[in-house]
Amino acid sequence: MSVRSIFLVSMGVVAGFAGGLVVTGRLAATEPSAAQPAPAHRAAAGAASPAGPQTVAMPDLSDVAERAIRASVNISSTQYVQTNNWFRAMGGDAVLPQTSLGSGVIVSSDGYVLTNTHVAQNANAEIEVTLPDNKKLPAKVIGIDVPSDLALLKVAATGLTPLPWGDSSKLRVAEWVLAVGNPFQFSQTVTQGIVSNVNRHDPQLAVYNDFIQTDAAINPGNSGGPLVDSRGEVVGINTMIYSQTGEYSGIGFAIPSNLAQQIMKELKANGSIRRGSIGLDSNYLITVDKALAQSYNLPVDHGVAVRNLARNSAALAAGVQPGDIITAFNGTPIDAADQLQRLVADAQIGTEATLDINRRGRTMTVKIPVTLMRGR
């Protein structure tokens, strides 16, 4: 049975949209302030011999949860879609509202809110943010980034209480975390779990796919809400689940806080994210591993094979040929196609990238100018 995952575009009002958006055929989508130290996590339940087992108490994260709730919001986004000719011929409306309900996290005291792109939908959507005190405010889209699934909104409010950012690179497996959001329109819901994996890297997930995996319950409507550590710091933005049913199955994913902050700052400054390109179409890239190398008698057992190139491709003009295997990008060894895409996207526009290539057993380097990625 194939396993299906969904983005948490929760509780879409229009039938057919509520289930979420399918991605890669399997996946579908879910200002620093003072933080008080969390209560001590560990407490001995009784005397134990040095060599004997010790009992560890469950953490009390109630104070952290209270602060997290004050920094979390509910988001409703409505866009109007053109109906088909058959529907109009039957007397239906020309356009119908399509609504997505999700969550967000307050990131500044003056009204900036970070959420998922699939919650905000697009810059033309009508977006309403419900604050923790149930006050509803219209939101303006500051910027939307599809590859990272992050969107920055702004509401006319002051005196809000954001949580501090945590360093996602310092997370450890089995560390306690809370997921806060609006699952199934049950606002201000808090669930508790642990970090299951600190860097879940899988080509099924997305170009920006170094996700935090957690078993804290995440359901439709949690998208865009914060993942909070035991110190009361935002360490991730909840974004999708892996499930056969479309609901909680113990495997959820959050965008790491370090990446979220980086994207947020650029969206705030520029309204969009500038990414690099070297003219390699992702549809024409194939990850090379040991199994593929054995099956096709390839000269190397790692890297990315170029299956084809567009005629106007900068890579083709620079000397890359179909059949080449890219083994490194600017000195970084390449193990997967999505890794190469990420490195290219993050490369500085206007610079020259160096590709290490294996061509039928012969090694060489190719230099390609990094240009602005179009269509983002």
Domain hosting 113: range is 1-33+60-273
In a domain, 53, yes or no: no
**The token pair that represents 181 in the structure block:** 């959001």
Burial (Cβ within 10 Å: 0-12, 13-18, ≥19) of residue 250: middle
Distance CA 310, CA 1 (A): 36
Instruction: Read off the amino acid at residue 27.
Output: L
In a domain, 52, yes or no: no
pLDDT for position 360? 95
In a domain, 232, yes or no: yes
pLDDT for position 59? 87
| In a shared domain, residues 197 and 294 | no
In a domain, 39, yes or no: no
| In a shared domain, residues 127 and 69 | yes
- For 130-176, write each residue's pLDDT tens digit: 999 999 999 999 999 988 999 999 999 999 999 999 999 999 999 99
Report, as ranges of residue numbers, the positions in the chain whose pLDDT lies below 70. Answer: 1-56, 84-94, 202-209, 375-376
In a domain, 295, yes or no: yes
| In a shared domain, residues 308 and 365 | yes
Distance CA 8, CA 29 (A): 5
In DSSP terms, 28 is beta-bridged to 22
Q: Which of 243, 273, 303 is the last residue of a domain?
A: 273
pLDDT for position 90? 63
Distance CA 206, CA 222 (A): 19
| In a shared domain, residues 337 and 360 | yes
Q: By the 8 A CB rule, do 58 and 66 touch? A: no
Q: Which of 273, 290, 316 is the last residue of a domain?
A: 273
Distance CA 143, CA 265 (A): 10
Phi and psi at residue 52, in whole multiples of 5°?
A: -90, 170
**The token pair that represents 7 in the structure block:** 């983005």
Q: By the 8 A CB rule, do 153 and 120 touch? A: yes
pLDDT for position 374? 77
Sequence length of the chain is 376
Enumerate the active-site residues.
118, 149, 223
Read off the CATH number of the domain in which 299 is found.
2.30.42.10
Read off the CATH number of the domain in which 79 is found.
2.40.10.120
The pairs formed by 372-375 with CB atoms below 8 angstroms and a separation of 24 or more are 372/274, 372/275, 372/276, 372/277, 373/274, 373/275, 373/276, 373/277, 373/345, 374/277
In a domain, 251, yes or no: yes
In a domain, 182, yes or no: yes
| In a shared domain, residues 129 and 215 | yes
| In a shared domain, residues 261 and 281 | no
Distance CA 340, CA 282 (A): 9
| In a shared domain, residues 172 and 280 | no
| In a shared domain, residues 231 and 317 | no
In a domain, 175, yes or no: yes
| In a shared domain, residues 243 and 295 | no
| In a shared domain, residues 281 and 236 | no
What is the chain's Cα-based Rg? 23
| The model's pTM | 0.78
Domain count along the chain: 2
pLDDT for position 147? 87
Q: Which of 220, 254, 273 is the last residue of a domain?
A: 273
| In a shared domain, residues 247 and 320 | no
| In a shared domain, residues 263 and 298 | no
- For the chain, the maximum distance between any two Cα atoms, rounded to a whole number of angstroms, is 80
